[in-house]
Amino acid sequence: VSECNWPSRQAPGLHNLFAVCKNMHNWLKQNPKNVCVITCSDGRGPSGVLVCAMFCFCHLFSHPVPAMQLLSAKRPGSGLWPSHRRYIGYVCSMVSEKPNLPHSKPLVIKALTMSPVPCFNKQRSGCRPFCDVLIGETKIFTTAQEYERMREHRIQEGKVVFPLGVSVHGDVVFSVYHMRSTIGGRLQAKVSNTQIFQIQFHTGFIAPGTTMLKFN
Q: Is the pLDDT of residue 189 over 90?
A: no
Q: What is the pLDDT of residue 157?
A: 97
Give the DSSP H or E segment for 160.
Answer: strand 160-168
Q: How many residues does the chain have?
A: 216
Q: Which residues are catalytic?
A: 40
The whole-model pTM stands at: 0.91
Q: What confidence tens digit (pLDDT) does each residue in 8-25 have?
A: 789 999 999 999 999 999
> 117-147: string of b/e by CB count within 10 Å (b at 16+)?
bbebbeeeebbbbbbbbbbeeeeebebeeee
Q: What is the pLDDT of residue 192?
A: 86
Please provide residue 205's backbone torsions phi and psi, each rounded to the nearest 5 degrees.
-105, 10
Please tell me the distance from the alpha carbon of residue 169 to that of residue 192, in angstroms, as a whole number.
Answer: 30
Please tell me the distance from the alpha carbon of residue 201 to that of residue 212, in angstroms, as a whole number.
Answer: 14
Q: What confidence tens digit (pLDDT) does each residue in 92-111 have?
A: 999 999 999 999 999 999 99
Residues ≥6 apart with Cβ < 8 Å to 39:
47
